[in-house]
A = this chain, B = another copy of it.
Amino acid sequence: MGSPASALLTDLYQLTMLQGYFEQGMEEIAVFEFFVRRLPKERRFLVAAGLEQGLEYLQGLRFSQRELDWIDACGRFKPGFVDRLATLRFTGDVHAMPEGTVFFADEPILRVAAPLPQAQLVESRLINLLHFQTLIASKAARCVLAAPHKLLVDFGMRRAHGAEAALLAARAGYIAGLDGTATVLAAPRFDIPVFGTMAHSFIECQDDEVRAFEYFAHAQPGNVVLLIDTYDTEAAARKVVELAPRLAHEGIAIRGVRIDSGDLTRHAREVRRILDEAGHREITIFASGSLDEHALQAMVAAGAPVDGFGIGTLLDTSADRPYLDCAYKLVEYAARPRRKRSEGKATWPGRKQVYRVLGEAGRLDHDILSIEGDAQSGRTLLEPVMVSGRRLAAPPDLERIRAYTRCELQRLPDSLRGLGPAPAHEVRVTEALRRLAAAVDAHTPRMGP
């Protein structure tokens, strides 16, 4: 009891409401949509991610006997409730934007249509899965735009918020275009390339820095990347230059050096000069330490001779904006559109579709948000992915998702590619959707006096 797949990984009120729904026979089809209410000023676009884990969760949803026993014994629910839970499975339909799709405020990236108790129960974990990977993929995409043609590696496991965050951040980052991760488990789990060098402790355990370099090269002759900032970066670069011919005699090539502290641009220039003057243009420079898209952009703009970057904490925690204002909201019940009208949190009712209209050179021009069936020009972004609890296709290969995301990022107009705040991308709400909202309001309690 306690795996990420546990049906108890939900908010208590979901179970409480389920009991009410069962009692009142409220089991007609409910439609919920997941969307982001508004983009933070730190993001010009978002990248949908996490669908795969969401569908896995829906497909595997069931209460184990131990979980049922716990619910029965906890004293909060009536006799008979667990009998209903025991047979509960997810039998609904799901529409979604493919992972890697660029999207904007108010656009649903996932729609669940299922008997109300099912659609309700899954809210907490679906949000938990879609929110986090979307958060990280969106941040990682900015890093990719900021440093094109550079090797970018996720280094964030240690300060990611727990084990699952570390693994899913590696996945979301890879989808968005990073080249890989340092987190080993991401390789067997998701088939993501892993990268690694060495830590300062390896150097410090030796009395001599050069000897540490040599030991490391012998242990890992196929992938010699030496960390050179433990004591004095430039002095260590000169030691690398002296060591290179000795290792070459043994058939070992030094592939690169890593700098992890100080003014990375300045050190990279000095180190590049030292390496080049000794004829070692082939030795690459890798930089890490408190990097994010802004630091990458600044280093690229400064022409820092860095071949690759390790991006850690600021990516895996999405540090400048560690959450999105997202929601999973009821939009229809028993074939009638619904919406919430709480102050500042009103939502669009009904099953919706998003249409993407391209402009010049195949770049995004604007999106159209309408009700399903109200055909508009442009590509429809929400596709059926699950029917009656069964997936319509095998999970797409991560490489395919990554390639699709690359295309999505190529379609971004210049107005969406920069890092600073910018006017929002245009999402046109159709007359049909506005009329529907007005009609729904006419049928629900009126706003205050």
Query: Is A322 a contact of B333 with CB atoms below 8 Å?
Result: no
Query: Is A13 a contact of B162 with CB atoms below 8 Å?
Result: no
How many Å lie between the Cα of A150 and that of B201 in the bound state?
A: 46
Copies of this polypeptide in the complex: 2
Contact with B along A234-275 (1 / 0, CB 8 A): 110000000000000000000000001110000000000000
In the assembled complex, which residues on chain B have CB atoms less than 8 Å from the CB atom of A434? none
In the assembled complex, which residues on chain B have CB atoms less than 8 Å from the CB atom of A160? 128, 161
In the assembled complex, which residues on chain B have CB atoms less than 8 Å from the CB atom of A76? 220, 222-223
Residue A338 CB within 8 A of the other chain: yes
Residue A205 CB within 8 A of the other chain: yes
Residue A163 CB within 8 A of the other chain: yes
Query: Is B338 a contact of A204 with CB atoms below 8 Å?
Result: yes
Q: Are A445 and B231 CB-contacts (below 8 A) given A132-B162, A159-B127, A167-B2?
A: yes
Contact with B along A171-202 (1 / 0, CB 8 A): 00000000000111101110000111111111
Closest residue to A445 on the B side, CB-wise?
B231
Closest residue to A216 on the B side, CB-wise?
B20
How many Å lie between the Cα of A334 and that of B207 in the bound state?
A: 11
In the assembled complex, which residues on chain B have CB atoms less than 8 Å from the CB atom of A182? 11-13
Residue A229 CB within 8 A of the other chain: yes
Query: Is B215 a contact of A24 with CB atoms below 8 Å?
Result: yes
Query: Is A162 a contact of B159 with CB atoms below 8 Å?
Result: no
Closest residue to A74 on the B side, CB-wise?
B187
In the assembled complex, which residues on chain B have CB atoms less than 8 Å from the CB atom of A161? 132, 135, 160-162, 164-165, 169, 317, 322
Within 8 A of B (CB), among A19-35: 19-21, 23-24, 26, 30, 32
Within 8 A of B (CB), among A104-136: 116, 120, 123-125, 127-129, 131-132, 135
Count chain A residues whose beta carbon lies closer than 8 angstroms to a beta carbon of B: 117
Residue A291 CB within 8 A of the other chain: no
Query: Is A185 a contact of B11 with CB atoms below 8 Å?
Result: no
In the assembled complex, which residues on chain B have CB atoms less than 8 Å from the CB atom of A445? 209, 231-232, 235
In the assembled complex, which residues on chain B have CB atoms less than 8 Å from the CB atom of A4? 162-164
Residue A157 CB within 8 A of the other chain: yes
Residue A447 CB within 8 A of the other chain: yes
In the assembled complex, which residues on chain B have CB atoms less than 8 Å from the CB atom of A70? 187-188
How many Å lie between the Cα of A6 and that of B187 in the bound state?
A: 13
Interface segment, one of A277-285, A339-347, A353-361, A415-423: A339-347
Q: Are A168 and B157 CB-contacts (below 8 A) given A188-B2, A262-B343?
A: no
Residue A59 CB within 8 A of the other chain: no
Query: Is B158 a contact of A448 with CB atoms below 8 Å?
Result: no
CB distance from A80 to the nearest CB of B (A): 12
Chain A contact residues, CB within 8 Å of chain B:
1-4, 6, 8-17, 19-21, 23-24, 26, 30, 32, 67, 70, 74, 76, 78, 116, 120, 123-125, 127-129, 131-132, 135, 155, 157-169, 182-185, 187-189, 194-202, 204-205, 207, 209, 215-216, 218-220, 222-223, 229-235, 260-262, 313-314, 317-319, 322-324, 326, 329-330, 333-334, 338-345, 443-448
